[in-house]
Amino acid sequence: MHRSSPANILSIDLLRACGLVIGAAVLIAASAKVQIPFWPVPMTLHTLAVLSLSVILGPRLGLAAMAAYLGAGLAGFPVFSGSPARGVGAAYLLGPTGGYLLGYLVASWLTGRLARDGGALRIALAMLAGLCLVYAAGLSWLAGFVPSKSLVATGLAPFLLADLLKVGLGTAMICGWRSLRSGAAR
């Protein structure tokens, strides 16, 4: 019988983690490019991808995936919503939506941490906590670009309903996926 050495197992685990992080970063980038007609503004699947992947991957890999995504954007790859037309690289990150993107970074860790081994309610609450963090960071940053009297109307109100729908959809998808996995394992 062949035994794997600890170094061999470590390198396989590292390769698997890197593959998951890169794959998740690609999914986050793709989700930022999807535009779905919605009122009052079109919506992307960015929030759904970031929060759902954070639940699935956990806090460390979820954070790493979001960091890889932001790193790709900072390097000039057109991974952000509206890029390259609205800018790329540091110019995009320093623009009005930069706070939301940085909020996603912290929210990816928080969401993964809070949802750990939880059921539907815990997952939904973890995703809501992550969403609150994204809005707090995003609105704080956006305050430097828009008058304070229109901050909520510009940076929160148009997106809140769609983001709440995405939390519900993400929770349902994750719970359904887990149910299918546990049923297949029997």
Residue 69 lies in a domain: yes
Residue 50 lies in a domain: yes
Q: Name which of 36-50, 96-110, 111-125 the model is least confident about.
A: 36-50
If you average pLDDT over residues 159-180, what whole number do you get?
Answer: 94
Residue 78's CB is within 10 A of a number of other CB atoms, namely 18
Residue 40's CB is within 10 A of a number of other CB atoms, namely 10
- The helix (run of H) or strand (run of E) holding residue 31 is helix 6-33
pLDDT at 3: 60
pLDDT interval class at 28 (50, 70, 90): very high
By three-state DSSP, how is residue 36 classified?
strand
Instruction: List residues bridging with 36 in a β-sheet.
Output: 43
pLDDT, one tens digit per residue, over 132-158 is 999 999 999 999 999 999 999 999 999
d(CA 179, CA 110): 24
Q: Which residue has the higher pLDDT, 111 or 84?
A: 111
User: Using an 8 Å Cβ cutoff, are 54 and 62 in contact?
Assistant: yes
d(CA 42, CA 34): 10
pTM for the full model?
0.89
Q: Which residue has the higher pLDDT, 186 or 83?
A: 83
Q: Mean pLDDT, the chain, as a whole number?
A: 92
Residue 32 lies in a domain: no
Residue 33 lies in a domain: no
Residue 3 lies in a domain: no
pLDDT interval class at 5 (50, 70, 90): low
Residue 185 lies in a domain: no
Residue 1 has pLDDT above 60, yes or no: no
pLDDT at 167: 98
pLDDT interval class at 117 (50, 70, 90): confident
If you average pLDDT over residues 176-185, what whole number do you get?
Answer: 83
Residue 56 lies in a domain: yes
Name the residue among 5, 54, 55, 58 with its Cα closest to residue 25.
54
Residue 10 lies in a domain: no
Q: Which structural domain, as residue segments, surrounds residue 95?
A: 45-77+86-174
Name the residue among 87, 90, 86, 52 with its Cα closest to residue 70.
90
Name the residue among 120, 130, 121 with its Cα closest to residue 174.
120
The tally of domains found in the chain comes to 1
Percent pLDDT > 70 in the chain is 92
Q: Computed from CA positions of residues 107, 110, 112, 117, in that sequence, does the dihedral angle turn out positive or negative?
A: negative
Please report, for the domain that includes residue 63, its CATH number.
Answer: 1.10.1760.20
DSSP 8-state symbol, 116? T
